[in-house]
Copies of this chain bind each other. A is one copy, B any other.
């Protein structure tokens, strides 16, 4: 799909945003989830640098411009109902603002393991 086709078919929420899952292209680790509007997606698809819309700061946020922890695009896919993006990246340094590699590191919660029944 071309950039224009993608931008036209995407389904945004009532705030004009959709969630983007950011995955480390080398390790497969899920690094973070953040939000993009149409313009953030256009920038991400056309510049090779991951760009979000910051809901708290109400501004575009090109990941790493302040921290140096840049995300370079390796591939982008849209899900079956066109309302979620999966962005595979090369991550420099820490993806999380807390300094950990991913936003989920050290944040495991107690959960019952399911017994697989085939």
Q: Count A interface residues, CB 8 Å.
A: 54
Q: How many copies of this chain sit in the oligomeric assembly?
A: 2
B110 touches A6 (CB 8 A): yes
In the complex, which of the residues B28, B71, B107, B114 contacts A72, with contact meaning CB atoms closer than 8 Å? B114
B contact residues around A114 at 8 Å (CB): 47-49, 70-74, 89-90
B90 touches A107 (CB 8 A): no
A103 touches B116 (CB 8 A): no
- Known A-B contacts A30-B21, A48-B115, A80-B97; A86 and B110 likewise in contact (beta carbons under 8 Å): no
- Known A-B contacts A30-B30, A33-B21, A48-B114; A6 and B109 likewise in contact (beta carbons under 8 Å): yes
- Known A-B contacts A33-B19, A86-B104; A112 and B46 likewise in contact (beta carbons under 8 Å): yes
Q: Which 4 A-B pairs give the minimum distances between C-beta atoms?
A: A72-B114, A28-B28, A48-B114, A77-B104
